[in-house]
Homo-oligomer: A and B are copies of this chain.
Amino acid sequence: MSLTRVQRAAQVACRRMADRKTPFIYNEWYVAALTREVSRELMSRTILDQQVLLFRKEDGTPVALNNRCGHRSFPLSRSTLDGDTVVCGYHGLRYNEKGECVEVPSQCNCSGISIRSYPVHQQGPVIWIWMGEAEQADLEKIPAMPMLEEGWVTSEDYMDLKCSYVYLHENLLDLTHLSFLHANTFGTPDYARANFDTDISEDRFLLKRYVVPTRLPPVWAKPTGLEDKDAARITTSDFVSPALHIVHAEFYDISLDESERPDQRIKTAHIPTPATADRTHYFVVHGRNFALEEDEVTDFMHQQLMAAFQEDVVGLQAVSEMIEEYGDSDDYYEISVKADAASVAMRRYLKRRAEAELAEREATAGMKNTPTQLTPV
Protein backbone atom coordinates (compact mmCIF):
# COMPACT_ATOMS: atom_id res chain seq x y z
CA MET A 1 0.00 0.00 0.00
CA SER A 2 2.56 2.61 1.02
CA LEU A 3 5.35 3.28 -1.45
CA THR A 4 9.08 3.52 -0.85
CA ARG A 5 10.84 6.82 -1.47
CA VAL A 6 12.15 5.60 -4.83
CA GLN A 7 8.72 4.32 -5.89
CA ARG A 8 7.09 7.58 -4.94
CA ALA A 9 9.60 9.62 -6.90
CA ALA A 10 9.07 7.29 -9.86
CA GLN A 11 5.33 7.81 -9.57
CA VAL A 12 5.73 11.57 -9.80
CA ALA A 13 8.16 11.24 -12.71
CA CYS A 14 6.03 8.90 -14.79
CA ARG A 15 3.10 11.31 -14.70
CA ARG A 16 5.06 13.53 -17.09
CA MET A 17 5.39 10.74 -19.64
CA ALA A 18 2.84 9.81 -22.29
CA ASP A 19 0.86 6.69 -21.55
CA ARG A 20 -2.27 4.98 -22.89
CA LYS A 21 -4.46 7.83 -21.61
CA THR A 22 -2.55 10.60 -23.36
CA PRO A 23 -4.65 12.17 -26.14
CA PHE A 24 -3.70 11.28 -29.70
CA ILE A 25 -1.51 13.54 -31.80
CA TYR A 26 -3.62 14.28 -34.86
CA ASN A 27 -1.42 16.60 -36.88
CA GLU A 28 0.90 13.93 -38.24
CA TRP A 29 0.92 11.64 -41.23
CA TYR A 30 0.17 8.07 -40.17
CA VAL A 31 0.17 4.93 -42.24
CA ALA A 32 -3.45 3.91 -42.85
CA ALA A 33 -2.77 0.65 -44.66
CA LEU A 34 -0.36 -1.34 -46.72
CA THR A 35 -0.73 -0.48 -50.39
CA ARG A 36 -1.70 -4.06 -51.13
CA GLU A 37 -4.55 -3.99 -48.59
CA VAL A 38 -6.63 -1.29 -50.29
CA SER A 39 -8.70 -2.29 -53.32
CA ARG A 40 -12.11 -1.84 -54.90
CA GLU A 41 -13.56 -3.69 -51.90
CA LEU A 42 -14.77 -1.18 -49.31
CA MET A 43 -12.88 -1.67 -46.04
CA SER A 44 -13.00 0.06 -42.67
CA ARG A 45 -10.11 0.61 -40.29
CA THR A 46 -10.15 2.45 -36.97
CA ILE A 47 -7.43 5.12 -36.90
CA LEU A 48 -7.04 7.55 -33.97
CA ASP A 49 -10.46 6.43 -32.74
CA GLN A 50 -12.14 7.21 -36.06
CA GLN A 51 -13.58 4.56 -38.37
CA VAL A 52 -12.08 5.27 -41.77
CA LEU A 53 -13.51 3.88 -45.01
CA LEU A 54 -10.76 2.98 -47.49
CA PHE A 55 -11.09 2.08 -51.16
CA ARG A 56 -9.61 2.80 -54.58
CA LYS A 57 -11.24 4.75 -57.37
CA GLU A 58 -11.51 3.13 -60.79
CA ASP A 59 -8.24 4.82 -61.74
CA GLY A 60 -6.51 3.26 -58.70
CA THR A 61 -6.24 6.39 -56.53
CA PRO A 62 -6.85 5.58 -52.85
CA VAL A 63 -9.69 7.39 -51.04
CA ALA A 64 -10.38 7.75 -47.31
CA LEU A 65 -13.76 8.88 -45.92
CA ASN A 66 -15.44 8.75 -42.55
CA ASN A 67 -17.10 5.34 -42.37
CA ARG A 68 -20.30 6.63 -40.72
CA CYS A 69 -23.10 7.71 -43.06
CA GLY A 70 -24.07 11.25 -42.06
CA HIS A 71 -27.76 10.37 -42.27
CA ARG A 72 -28.43 7.49 -39.87
CA SER A 73 -24.94 6.19 -39.02
CA PHE A 74 -24.88 3.10 -41.20
CA PRO A 75 -21.31 1.82 -41.74
CA LEU A 76 -20.37 2.65 -45.31
CA SER A 77 -17.98 -0.31 -45.35
CA ARG A 78 -21.13 -2.49 -45.54
CA SER A 79 -22.29 -0.52 -48.57
CA THR A 80 -21.45 -0.68 -52.26
CA LEU A 81 -19.31 1.16 -54.81
CA ASP A 82 -20.93 2.44 -57.99
CA GLY A 83 -18.04 3.69 -60.09
CA ASP A 84 -16.26 6.09 -57.74
CA THR A 85 -19.41 6.75 -55.71
CA VAL A 86 -20.21 5.10 -52.39
CA VAL A 87 -23.91 4.11 -52.10
CA CYS A 88 -25.04 3.72 -48.49
CA GLY A 89 -26.43 0.22 -47.90
CA TYR A 90 -29.28 1.49 -45.72
CA HIS A 91 -31.12 4.38 -47.42
CA GLY A 92 -29.01 4.84 -50.56
CA LEU A 93 -27.31 8.20 -49.96
CA ARG A 94 -24.44 8.61 -52.46
CA TYR A 95 -21.07 10.14 -51.60
CA ASN A 96 -18.27 11.13 -53.94
CA GLU A 97 -14.56 10.83 -53.18
CA LYS A 98 -14.58 14.15 -51.33
CA GLY A 99 -17.31 12.94 -48.99
CA GLU A 100 -19.93 15.19 -50.60
CA CYS A 101 -23.40 13.73 -50.81
CA VAL A 102 -24.44 13.78 -54.46
CA GLU A 103 -27.85 12.14 -54.15
CA VAL A 104 -30.55 11.47 -51.57
CA PRO A 105 -33.31 9.17 -52.91
CA SER A 106 -36.79 10.75 -53.08
CA GLN A 107 -35.37 14.26 -52.64
CA CYS A 108 -34.13 16.68 -55.31
CA ASN A 109 -31.60 18.68 -53.38
CA CYS A 110 -28.83 17.32 -51.22
CA SER A 111 -26.47 20.26 -51.27
CA GLY A 112 -24.47 20.81 -48.13
CA ILE A 113 -24.68 17.25 -46.87
CA SER A 114 -21.23 15.75 -46.49
CA ILE A 115 -19.05 13.48 -44.46
CA ARG A 116 -15.42 14.01 -43.68
CA SER A 117 -12.73 12.98 -46.16
CA TYR A 118 -9.08 12.52 -45.27
CA PRO A 119 -6.01 13.33 -47.38
CA VAL A 120 -4.13 10.17 -48.33
CA HIS A 121 -0.86 9.56 -50.15
CA GLN A 122 0.53 6.30 -51.45
CA GLN A 123 4.28 5.83 -51.03
CA GLY A 124 5.57 2.49 -52.28
CA PRO A 125 4.27 -0.23 -49.98
CA VAL A 126 2.27 2.06 -47.66
CA ILE A 127 -0.61 4.56 -47.82
CA TRP A 128 -0.30 7.57 -45.54
CA ILE A 129 -3.29 9.41 -44.09
CA TRP A 130 -3.73 12.81 -42.44
CA MET A 131 -6.28 12.75 -39.58
CA GLY A 132 -5.58 16.26 -38.32
CA GLU A 133 -6.54 19.79 -39.34
CA ALA A 134 -7.02 19.72 -43.11
CA GLU A 135 -5.17 22.97 -43.74
CA GLN A 136 -2.01 21.54 -42.19
CA ALA A 137 -1.94 18.44 -44.41
CA ASP A 138 1.35 19.02 -46.20
CA LEU A 139 2.84 16.17 -48.22
CA GLU A 140 6.28 17.54 -47.37
CA LYS A 141 5.75 16.44 -43.81
CA ILE A 142 5.54 12.75 -44.70
CA PRO A 143 8.61 11.28 -43.01
CA ALA A 144 11.29 9.75 -45.24
CA MET A 145 11.61 5.97 -45.49
CA PRO A 146 15.25 5.47 -46.58
CA MET A 147 14.81 1.75 -47.25
CA LEU A 148 12.53 2.70 -50.16
CA GLU A 149 15.44 4.33 -52.00
CA GLU A 150 17.29 2.66 -54.83
CA GLY A 151 19.78 0.00 -53.86
CA TRP A 152 17.55 -1.54 -51.24
CA VAL A 153 15.13 -4.43 -51.35
CA THR A 154 12.14 -4.54 -49.01
CA SER A 155 9.29 -6.63 -47.66
CA GLU A 156 6.37 -5.46 -45.56
CA ASP A 157 3.77 -6.82 -43.17
CA TYR A 158 1.05 -5.93 -40.67
CA MET A 159 0.30 -6.99 -37.08
CA ASP A 160 -2.61 -6.20 -34.79
CA LEU A 161 -1.10 -5.03 -31.49
CA LYS A 162 -3.38 -4.82 -28.45
CA CYS A 163 -1.38 -2.11 -26.72
CA SER A 164 -0.97 1.67 -26.88
CA TYR A 165 1.45 2.88 -29.57
CA VAL A 166 3.41 4.68 -26.83
CA TYR A 167 4.74 1.39 -25.45
CA LEU A 168 5.75 0.15 -28.89
CA HIS A 169 7.93 3.24 -29.38
CA GLU A 170 9.38 2.67 -25.94
CA ASN A 171 10.06 -0.97 -26.71
CA LEU A 172 11.97 0.04 -29.84
CA LEU A 173 14.04 2.77 -28.19
CA ASP A 174 15.65 0.42 -25.71
CA LEU A 175 16.84 -2.84 -27.19
CA THR A 176 18.01 -4.20 -23.83
CA HIS A 177 15.02 -6.44 -24.14
CA LEU A 178 16.61 -8.42 -27.00
CA SER A 179 18.49 -10.54 -24.47
CA PHE A 180 15.31 -11.45 -22.62
CA LEU A 181 12.12 -11.14 -24.65
CA HIS A 182 13.92 -12.31 -27.79
CA ALA A 183 16.31 -14.79 -26.16
CA ASN A 184 15.08 -17.51 -28.51
CA THR A 185 15.01 -15.49 -31.74
CA PHE A 186 17.32 -12.59 -32.58
CA GLY A 187 18.58 -11.64 -29.13
CA THR A 188 21.92 -12.69 -27.70
CA PRO A 189 22.92 -12.62 -23.99
CA ASP A 190 25.60 -9.91 -24.51
CA TYR A 191 23.08 -7.46 -25.96
CA ALA A 192 21.73 -6.17 -22.65
CA ARG A 193 25.15 -5.25 -21.27
CA ALA A 194 26.55 -3.66 -24.44
CA ASN A 195 27.57 0.01 -24.46
CA PHE A 196 25.22 2.55 -25.88
CA ASP A 197 24.99 6.26 -26.73
CA THR A 198 21.89 8.35 -26.86
CA ASP A 199 21.16 11.36 -29.03
CA ILE A 200 18.24 13.35 -27.69
CA SER A 201 16.98 16.51 -29.35
CA GLU A 202 13.69 18.30 -29.09
CA ASP A 203 11.69 15.96 -31.28
CA ARG A 204 14.04 13.15 -32.27
CA PHE A 205 15.36 10.40 -30.05
CA LEU A 206 18.11 7.95 -30.92
CA LEU A 207 19.87 5.17 -29.07
CA LYS A 208 22.87 3.41 -30.59
CA ARG A 209 24.17 0.14 -29.24
CA TYR A 210 27.55 -1.43 -29.98
CA VAL A 211 27.58 -5.20 -29.56
CA VAL A 212 31.21 -5.94 -30.43
CA PRO A 213 32.44 -8.64 -30.59
CA THR A 214 29.43 -10.87 -30.77
CA ARG A 215 28.03 -13.85 -32.58
CA LEU A 216 25.10 -13.00 -34.83
CA PRO A 217 21.78 -14.82 -34.60
CA PRO A 218 20.75 -16.78 -37.74
CA VAL A 219 18.54 -13.97 -39.11
CA TRP A 220 21.63 -11.80 -39.59
CA ALA A 221 24.44 -14.38 -39.71
CA LYS A 222 23.12 -16.46 -42.61
CA PRO A 223 22.45 -13.72 -45.19
CA THR A 224 25.69 -11.87 -44.33
CA GLY A 225 27.89 -14.98 -44.29
CA LEU A 226 29.03 -14.12 -40.76
CA GLU A 227 28.10 -17.44 -39.16
CA ASP A 228 30.62 -18.60 -36.55
CA LYS A 229 32.63 -15.41 -36.90
CA ASP A 230 33.41 -12.70 -34.36
CA ALA A 231 31.23 -9.93 -35.65
CA ALA A 232 30.13 -6.38 -34.91
CA ARG A 233 26.42 -5.64 -34.58
CA ILE A 234 25.78 -1.92 -34.32
CA THR A 235 22.17 -0.91 -34.04
CA THR A 236 20.49 2.50 -33.94
CA SER A 237 16.92 2.96 -32.77
CA ASP A 238 15.59 6.17 -34.31
CA PHE A 239 12.28 7.71 -33.30
CA VAL A 240 11.47 9.75 -36.41
CA SER A 241 7.90 10.81 -35.62
CA PRO A 242 4.95 9.57 -33.56
CA ALA A 243 4.10 7.52 -36.65
CA LEU A 244 7.51 6.12 -37.56
CA HIS A 245 10.43 4.44 -35.88
CA ILE A 246 13.42 3.18 -37.87
CA VAL A 247 15.93 0.64 -36.62
CA HIS A 248 19.22 0.67 -38.54
CA ALA A 249 21.83 -2.04 -38.11
CA GLU A 250 25.19 -2.82 -39.65
CA PHE A 251 27.17 -6.04 -39.42
CA TYR A 252 30.80 -6.85 -40.15
CA ASP A 253 33.60 -9.30 -39.50
CA ILE A 254 35.76 -7.61 -36.88
CA SER A 255 38.89 -9.35 -38.22
CA LEU A 256 38.62 -7.27 -41.41
CA ASP A 257 39.95 -3.75 -41.89
CA GLU A 258 37.34 -1.10 -42.34
CA SER A 259 38.23 -0.80 -46.04
CA GLU A 260 37.73 -4.53 -46.66
CA ARG A 261 34.29 -4.79 -45.06
CA PRO A 262 31.32 -5.29 -47.42
CA ASP A 263 28.54 -2.74 -46.79
CA GLN A 264 25.86 -4.89 -45.14
CA ARG A 265 23.10 -2.93 -43.52
CA ILE A 266 19.42 -3.34 -42.72
CA LYS A 267 16.79 -0.69 -41.99
CA THR A 268 13.47 -1.66 -40.50
CA ALA A 269 10.62 0.82 -40.38
CA HIS A 270 8.38 0.09 -37.41
CA ILE A 271 5.18 2.00 -38.08
CA PRO A 272 2.71 2.28 -35.21
CA THR A 273 -0.67 3.76 -36.10
CA PRO A 274 -2.90 4.22 -33.06
CA ALA A 275 -6.29 2.55 -33.52
CA THR A 276 -7.61 3.22 -30.02
CA ALA A 277 -6.01 3.94 -26.65
CA ASP A 278 -5.17 0.26 -26.30
CA ARG A 279 -4.79 -0.96 -29.85
CA THR A 280 -2.22 -0.20 -32.51
CA HIS A 281 -1.85 -1.08 -36.17
CA TYR A 282 1.74 -2.25 -36.34
CA PHE A 283 3.13 -2.03 -39.88
CA VAL A 284 6.64 -3.15 -40.74
CA VAL A 285 8.71 -2.32 -43.81
CA HIS A 286 12.05 -4.11 -43.71
CA GLY A 287 14.91 -3.38 -46.11
CA ARG A 288 18.50 -4.51 -46.75
CA ASN A 289 21.24 -3.23 -49.06
CA PHE A 290 22.84 -6.60 -49.95
CA ALA A 291 21.89 -9.86 -51.67
CA LEU A 292 19.42 -7.72 -53.56
CA GLU A 293 18.44 -10.32 -56.12
CA GLU A 294 17.95 -13.22 -53.73
CA ASP A 295 14.25 -13.79 -53.04
CA GLU A 296 14.95 -16.67 -50.68
CA VAL A 297 16.96 -14.29 -48.48
CA THR A 298 14.00 -11.91 -48.45
CA ASP A 299 11.68 -14.74 -47.44
CA PHE A 300 14.04 -16.07 -44.80
CA MET A 301 14.65 -12.69 -43.16
CA HIS A 302 11.00 -11.72 -43.33
CA GLN A 303 9.90 -14.92 -41.65
CA GLN A 304 12.58 -14.71 -38.94
CA LEU A 305 11.88 -11.04 -38.20
CA MET A 306 8.13 -11.41 -38.03
CA ALA A 307 8.56 -14.30 -35.57
CA ALA A 308 10.68 -12.01 -33.38
CA PHE A 309 8.29 -9.04 -33.68
CA GLN A 310 5.47 -11.37 -32.73
CA GLU A 311 7.27 -11.79 -29.39
CA ASP A 312 7.01 -8.02 -28.93
CA VAL A 313 3.30 -8.17 -29.74
CA VAL A 314 2.75 -10.84 -27.09
CA GLY A 315 4.99 -9.15 -24.50
CA LEU A 316 3.51 -5.69 -25.05
CA GLN A 317 0.02 -7.10 -24.74
CA ALA A 318 0.99 -8.55 -21.34
CA VAL A 319 2.32 -5.13 -20.31
CA SER A 320 -0.83 -3.46 -21.61
CA GLU A 321 -3.09 -5.76 -19.59
CA MET A 322 -1.07 -5.04 -16.47
CA ILE A 323 -1.27 -1.27 -17.01
CA GLU A 324 -4.98 -1.53 -17.83
CA GLU A 325 -5.45 -3.21 -14.45
CA TYR A 326 -3.13 -1.12 -12.28
CA GLY A 327 -2.26 2.04 -14.24
CA ASP A 328 -4.93 4.08 -12.49
CA SER A 329 -4.33 2.81 -8.97
CA ASP A 330 -2.85 5.01 -6.30
CA ASP A 331 0.29 2.94 -5.99
CA TYR A 332 1.17 2.73 -9.69
CA TYR A 333 4.65 3.82 -10.66
CA GLU A 334 7.26 3.09 -13.33
CA ILE A 335 10.89 3.21 -12.26
CA SER A 336 13.15 4.41 -15.08
CA VAL A 337 16.75 3.23 -15.45
CA LYS A 338 19.75 4.53 -17.37
CA ALA A 339 18.87 2.71 -20.59
CA ASP A 340 15.50 4.50 -20.58
CA ALA A 341 16.95 7.98 -21.06
CA ALA A 342 15.95 8.32 -24.72
CA SER A 343 12.63 6.63 -24.12
CA VAL A 344 11.71 8.88 -21.19
CA ALA A 345 12.55 11.96 -23.26
CA MET A 346 10.44 10.58 -26.12
CA ARG A 347 7.45 9.89 -23.88
CA ARG A 348 7.65 13.40 -22.40
CA TYR A 349 7.73 14.78 -25.93
CA LEU A 350 4.64 12.81 -26.95
CA LYS A 351 2.80 14.08 -23.91
CA ARG A 352 3.78 17.72 -24.49
CA ARG A 353 2.75 17.56 -28.14
CA ALA A 354 -0.53 15.82 -27.41
CA GLU A 355 -1.46 18.30 -24.73
CA ALA A 356 -0.47 21.32 -26.78
CA GLU A 357 -2.56 20.06 -29.69
CA LEU A 358 -5.51 19.35 -27.42
CA ALA A 359 -5.33 22.86 -25.96
CA GLU A 360 -5.31 24.28 -29.47
CA ARG A 361 -8.33 22.18 -30.51
CA GLU A 362 -10.25 23.31 -27.48
CA ALA A 363 -9.39 26.95 -28.08
CA THR A 364 -10.55 26.63 -31.69
CA ALA A 365 -13.74 24.82 -30.68
CA GLY A 366 -14.46 27.57 -28.17
CA MET A 367 -14.12 30.20 -30.88
CA LYS A 368 -16.26 28.28 -33.34
CA ASN A 369 -19.02 27.58 -30.86
CA THR A 370 -19.42 31.12 -29.64
CA PRO A 371 -20.53 33.45 -32.42
CA THR A 372 -23.36 31.97 -34.52
CA GLN A 373 -26.72 30.76 -33.28
CA LEU A 374 -27.77 27.94 -35.55
CA THR A 375 -31.28 26.97 -36.49
CA PRO A 376 -32.00 23.25 -36.32
CA VAL A 377 -33.06 21.73 -39.66
- Chain A residues near B (Cβ < 8 Å): 1-2, 4-10, 12-13, 16, 26, 51, 67-68, 70-75, 78, 87-93, 104-107, 110, 112-114, 132-133, 167, 170, 174, 176-177, 179-181, 192-194, 196, 315, 318-319, 321-323, 325-327, 330, 333-339, 361, 364-365, 368, 374-377
Contact = CB atoms under 8 A, between A and B. Distances in A.
7 contacts: A6-B113, A71-B335, A71-B336, A89-B180, A89-B315, A91-B337, A92-B176
A170 B107 CA distance: 18
A75 B1 contact: no
Given A13-B377, A107-B338, A192-B92, A70 B180 contact: no
A59 to B, nearest CB: 26
Contacts of A361: 1
A4 B372 CA distance: 13
A191 B24 CA distance: 44
A374 B112 contact: no
B177 A113 contact: no
Nearest to A330: B365
Contacts of A91: 174, 176-177, 180, 192, 337, 339
A106 B338 contact: yes
A73 B12 contact: no
Nearest to A71: B335
Contacts of A6: 112-114, 377
A136 B16 CA distance: 35
B192 A106 contact: yes
A10 B377 contact: yes
Tell me the number of copies of this protein.
3
Given A71-B337, A334-B71, A337-B104, A319 B90 contact: yes
Contacts of A2: 364-365, 368
Given A7-B70, A12-B376, 9 more contacts: A4-B112, A6-B113, A9-B377, A68-B326, A70-B334, A90-B177, A91-B174, A91-B337, A335-B377
B180 A90 contact: yes
Contact of A333 (B70, B88, B330): B70
A361 B112 CA distance: 42
Given A4-B112, A338-B106, A326 B73 contact: yes
Given A51-B325, A71-B334, A105-B179, A1 B13 contact: no
Nearest to A175: B91
B339 A107 contact: yes
A73 B322 contact: yes
B26 A334 contact: no
Nearest to A115: B7
Contact of A374 (B8, B110, B113, B327): B8
A364 B3 CA distance: 12
Contact of A315 (B74, B93, B174): B74
Contacts of A194: 106
A149 to B, nearest CB: 33
Contact of A193 (B74, B105, B334): B105
A183 B232 CA distance: 65
A8 B326 CA distance: 38
Contacts of A73: 319, 322-323, 326-327, 334
Contacts of A335: 70-71, 113, 377
